[in-house]
Amino acid sequence: MIEIKSRYTGRVLRTIDAADLCAADLCAAELRDANLRDANLLGADLHGADLFGADLRYADLRAADLQGADLRYADLQGADLRGADLHRANLRGAKTDNDTKWTHFQICPERGSFVAWKKTRTGVIRVRIPEDAQRTSSLIGRKCRASHVLVLGGPGCGGLSEHDGSTVYVKGEIVRADSFDPSPLVECTNGIHFFMTRAEAEAW
């Protein structure tokens, strides 16, 4: 049995059986460090829930709403997250393994060269992701990143990076990140960030 508390007030809302939480309403629940190993959370509403450090090993989280959930340092080894909505969830430090199941999340091509879009402080630019560049998409948003890009053009050429305020994107030049983080669990980390469509870059 676990106590479900409000993330915002700390008040105990109810005590429930952790074994079967299928389609449960756990929106904004306080589940920090909760033992949810093997729990059935199929289709559960965990929008905004505090799952910091929670034990979710082998939990069934298929189609669960985890938008904005705090999953920092949660143990997701063997968990099934296929179809789960992880938009804006915080997965920094979460523990996963080869048995963790995800919905296919790569929205950028995993191989080859392709054209993408990036926003600088002066506007949007078109970039090419070279064939030899490392690249990844994110499990929690639409922003992608690469180890290096070739600047093709656009009104934002010559502009500074919005991230570090020092990298300049000059037409015809290759810009390389100081380092590249391949983890799909984190959206904003080391690498050159880009979007697959111009509209997304302009809206950023």
DSSP secondary structure letter of residue 136 = E
CA dihedral 49, 50, 53, 58 (to 10 degrees): -10
Partners of 16 in the β-ladder: 2
* DSSP H stretches of helix in 37-173: none
Classify burial at 168, counting beta carbons within 10 Å of its beta carbon; exposed 0-12, middle 13-18, buried 19 or more: middle
- The CA distance from 137 to 16, in Å, is 36
Residues of the chain with CATH 2.160.20.80: 1-103
- Check: CB of residue 120 under 8 Å from CB of residue 166: no
Give me the mean pLDDT over the 40-63 stretch. Answer: 95
- The CA distance from 175 to 152, in Å, is 11
At 140 the pLDDT is 86
Q: Average pLDDT, whole number, for the chain?
A: 91
At 3 the pLDDT is 66
Is the confidence at residue 79, as pLDDT, over 80?
Answer: yes
At 166 the pLDDT is 85
Q: How many CB atoms lie within 10 A of CB 164?
A: 9
Tokens of 26: 């756990």
Is the confidence at residue 192, as pLDDT, over 90?
Answer: yes
Is the confidence at residue 161, as pLDDT, over 70?
Answer: yes
Tokens of 135: 């690249």
- Per-residue pLDDT tens for 103-137? 877 899 999 999 999 999 999 999 999 999 999 99
Is the confidence at residue 4, as pLDDT, over 90?
Answer: no
Q: Which fold has domain 1-103?
A: Pectate Lyase C-like (2.160.20)
CA dihedral 169, 173, 179, 183 (to 10 degrees): 80
At 70 the pLDDT is 97
At 141 the pLDDT is 87
pLDDT band at 173; cut points 50, 70, 90: very high
At 117 the pLDDT is 98
Greatest CA separation for the chain:
61
Is the confidence at residue 45, as pLDDT, over 80?
Answer: yes
